[in-house]
Amino acid sequence: MGDAHYDLIVIGSGPAGEKGGAQAAFFGKSVALVEKESGYGGAATNTGTLPSKTLRESALYLSGFEKRGLYGINLEMKDRVTARDFFYREHEVVHSEQARITANIEAHKMAVYHGAGSFIDDHTLCVTAADGARTLLTADKFLIATGSCPTHPGNIPFQDKRVFDSDTILKLHDMPQTMLVIGGGVIGSEYACMFAALGIKVSLIDGRDRLLGFMDAEISAALARAMGKLNIDLFLSDSVVTIDPADKLHITLKSGHKFPVDIVLAATGRDGATKDMGLEGIGIVPSNRGLIAVNEHYQTAVPHIYAAGDVIGFPALASTSMEQARIAMSHAFDLKFKERMAPILPYGIYTIPECSMAGETEESLTKAGVDYVCGHAYYKTNARGEIIGDEDGFLKLLFRTDDMKLMGVHVIGEQASELVHIGLTALLSNATADLFIATCYNYPTLSEIYKYATYSALQARLKKLAA
């Protein structure tokens, strides 16, 4: 036997670990939480979700970006934004969130062990603390919620102090004048926008032919145009050949473009954090990206060991990670509390401007052979949109032609990640166009664009049926 036995051992205190542990503890199970870092919260709190979103708000505030020219004056940022200026609020938010997580762990009476966890057998975990001390713990059930870590491709010189990944960028000491972002996914696009908003010259490179390929193509194209307005140089369908260190980092691209930059941010994906956990020895074999395969209940190849969050791969969102862990623990202990994931999930991309979506895209509907119509409504023709000065934002709704059932919701513009939830709720309710036509929205609000996007779609349907 180990030093202590629990109903559940959770490895990792990020969104999946915290919420999964709290779920089990709420229903009276004894829970131990193993965390190798000094602070709770995983990447969501310390290096990913909250820090990057807070930095976005800091960039908008420090640059006066959203209010430039809005009131007949130009609000310029101070002569030089320092790294301390930029990261101040991010540090405050992280500390506050860590305090919240600590309080939640204590409220649910979870035992905490600080150290790295490695399986001795499928019911025994060895926790090795920073000072080398070891503790053996046993449990009936386990939840692996170790998250992910940045991928480090071999052709990028991470040993150079001017080369950062999505974790180490938070340790930036001096603001650069120029930078290259490698990777046009969510992380790369978000950081490219926030640094560009501060007046830094940003180049963004990606091997794919468009940004955020999972988004609707029209939204992706609109984001690319917005990045152009931020003076971001986009190099799509391209790749880095060499990064030569000198007085600056000299970049050579496959396309032949050459240019110097002060720093490089490599946002080249993330791998599951499963190294040195002894998983192979108990019959759980991660993929070559460190990801753990699970079934619909989030069980691994060993049925009493569950996994949730970034460590199981896509969609790797804080919101879905929490839900996955709750479902896993409900199944593990037969709680009859939460048995399935919502069939439609929202995606929020905190670029400048924000992008968000739920449901089908035009591409997915076309591939499935679904006859559809789309409707648009633009911020610039909406009273609230005029007030806030967002001239480029829009909402796009996709409806099935025959019965006008809502199929997809896509937004780009201010508060997109909030606005999408109106459409998400409608999607989950199997709503048709009638819902938006019948609803009376506050005026002036951005929400009102749902009604006008629906009118647009109804007009498109009439034209299609008359053709």
pLDDT digits (tens, 9 = 90+) for 195-236: 898 889 999 999 999 999 999 999 999 999 999 999 999 999
- 241-201-53-14 Cα dihedral, nearest 10 degrees: 30
Q: Give CATH superfamily name and number for 163-268.
A: FAD/NAD(P)-binding domain (3.50.50.60)
CA 435 to each of CA 5, 395, 427, 428, 448: distance values in angstroms, whole numbers, following the listed order: 53, 16, 11, 13, 13
Residue 422 has pLDDT above 80, yes or no: yes
Q: What average pLDDT is seen over the chain?
A: 90
The answer, yes or no, to whether residue 190 has pLDDT greater than 70, is yes
Q: In the block, which residue shows the tokens 């002060």?
A: 262
Tokens, residue 261? 């930059």
Which DSSP state fits 308? -
C-alpha 15/C-alpha 326 separation (Å) is 10
Q: Are 4-149+271-332 and 353-466 in the same CATH fold?
A: no
Q: 37 falls in which pLDDT band (50, 70, 90)?
A: confident
Average pLDDT value for residue range 352-367: 96
pLDDT in tens, 245-296: 999 999 999 999 999 999 999 999 899 999 999 999 999 999 999 999 999 9
Residue 250: which H helix or E strand, with range? Answer: strand 249-253
pLDDT-derived band at 44 (thresholds 50, 70, 90) equals: low
| Sequence-distant (≥ 6) Cβ neighbours of residue 246 within 8 angstroms | none
Residue with tokens 């692996």: 144
pLDDT at position 43: 62
* CATH code for the domain defined by 4-149+271-332: 3.50.50.60
> Does the bond joining 51 to the residue before it have cis omega, within 30 degrees of 0?
no
Over the stretch 90-133, which tens digit does the pLDDT of each residue have? 677 777 888 888 898 999 999 999 999 999 999 999 999 999 99
Position 69 pLDDT exceeds 90: no
Domain 353-466 sits in CATH 3.40.50.1100? no
Class of residue 405 by CB neighbours under 10 A (exposed 0-12, middle 13-18, buried 19+): middle
178 bridge partner residues: 201
Give pLDDT, residue 118.
97
At residue 153, the 3 state secondary structure works out as: coil
Run of H or E including 359: strand 355-359
What pLDDT is stored for residue 78 in this prediction? 47
User: What is the pLDDT, as a whole number, of residue 285?
Assistant: 97
CA 347 to centroid of chain Cα atoms: 8
**How far, in Å, CA of 416 to CA of 393, rounded?**
9
The whole-number pLDDT of residue 3 equals 80
SS3 content of the chain, % helix, strand, coil (to 5): 35, 25, 40
Question: What percent of the chain clears pLDDT 90, i.e. is strictly above it?
Answer: 75
- Token pair recorded at residue 467: 């053709």
Q: Model confidence at 73, in pLDDT bands (50, 70, 90)?
A: very low
Task: Please name the amino acid found at residue 232.
Answer: I
Domain ranges of the chain: 4-149+271-332, 163-268, 353-466
How many other C-beta atoms can be found within 10 angstroms of the C-beta atom of residue 88?
A: 14
Closest of 68, 65, 97 to residue 81, by C-alpha: 65
Query: What are 283-340's pLDDT values in tens digits?
Result: 999 999 999 999 999 999 999 999 999 999 988 888 899 999 999 999 999 998 878 8
What is the spatial distance between Cα 163 and Cα 295, in angstroms, rounded to a whole number?
38
